[in-house]
Every structure is written in structure tokens, then in C-alpha cells.
Structure 1
Amino acid sequence: MSLSFVIGIGKQAMMVALMIAAPVLIASMAIGLLVSIFQAATQIQEQTLTFVPKVITVILVFLLMGSWMLKVLIQFVQTMFSNITLIVK
């Protein structure tokens, strides 16, 4: 097991983590920005106002993208299991 192999595994793991987290993070950041703009325009300074839209958005993103996220994660785990003989050597 060489150093480049370990670095490749780490890079692949980071890419999978980023691919899985990106849709949820981007959607919640966009909703947060929209609610912040709405709060600034209307001068409503309620701290809990952003909570409900973000939760609903995260749930919707998981419902829409959850199967793709799970497929990416399963593919990564299967790749790791198939390469376990290279790791153990």
C-alpha cells in the first residue's frame, strides 16, 4: 500500500462527502439568504423565522436527492470493499 494509494482513497472519500453534503448545504444557504433579505426588507427581526423554511427545504432535498446520495455512498463503499485486499497487504 503506497502513499499515493492512501492519498487517492482520502481524496475519493472527501469528494463523496462533498457530493453528498452539497445539495443540502446549498439549498439551506439559499433559503437562509432569501429569508434574510426578506427580514431586512420588512424589518422583521425574528430569530426563529429562518428555522422552519430551512427544515422544510432540507427535508425536501433529502426526499428529492436521497436516492442519488445513497447510490453514491453505496458505490463508494462497494469500491472500498472490493479494494480491501489492496489495503490489507
Structure 2
Amino acid sequence: MDFDANIGYLRLAFWHIVLTAGPVLGVALAVGLFIGLIQAATSINEMTLSFVPKLVIVLGAMALMSGFMLTQMTDYFAYIFGEIVAIR
């Protein structure tokens, strides 16, 4: 195994991290931005007003995206374990 193969495995790992966590983090960012704009417009600075809706929506996004995330992780680990077996 050479240096280029290791870099390829790291690139693949980072790409799968982005594909797995990106949609949920994007939803959290969008909801946080929307609630922040509403709080700035109305001058309401209640901490629970920003936390509770974001928590509920992020958990809903995780529930909706769980099949996709599980498929991505399963495919990645199957590939990595196949590469480990191929080393021998």
C-alpha cells in the first residue's frame, strides 16, 4: 500500500462524512438562520425559542434521512472491509 492509496482512502472517508452529516447540518444551519432572523426582527432573545424548534426539526431531518445515511455508511464500511481483506 503506497501513500497515494492512503490519500485516496482519506479522501473517500471525508467525502462520506460530508454526504452523511451534510444534509442534517444544512437543515440545522437553515433553521438556526431563520430563527435568528425572526429573533432579530422581533427583539425576542429567548434561548428556548431557538433551541426547541431546531432540536425538533433536526431530529425530524435525521429520521427522514436515516435510511440514506445508513446506506452511505454501510456501503463505505463494506468497501473498506473489502479493501482490508484484499491486502492479505
Q: Same fold (TM over 0.5)?
A: yes
CA distance in 1 between partners of 2:14 and 2:69 (Å): 14
What is the CA deviation profile of residues 10-52 of structure 1, one whole-angstrom value per residue up to 9, with x for unaligned ones? 0000000111110111001100011011111111011221101
Counterpart position of 1:28: 28
Structure 2, unpaired ranges of 5+? none
1:57 counterpart SS class: helix
Structure 1, unpaired ranges of 5+? none
Equivalent residue letter for 2:62: F
Q: How far does residue 85 in structure 1 lie from its aligned partner after superposition?
A: 3.2
RMSD (Å), alpha carbons: 1.1
CA distance in 2 between partners of 1:4 and 1:39 (Å): 49
- Runs of 4+ aligned residues of structure 1 deviating over 3 Å after TM superposition are none
Q: How many residues align?
A: 88
CA distance in 2 between partners of 1:40 and 1:31 (Å): 14
Equivalent residue letter for 1:9: Y
1:83 counterpart SS class: helix
1:9 maps to 2:9: yes
Counterpart position of 1:37: 37
1:45 counterpart SS class: coil
The TM-score, its normalising length taken from structure 2, stands at 0.93
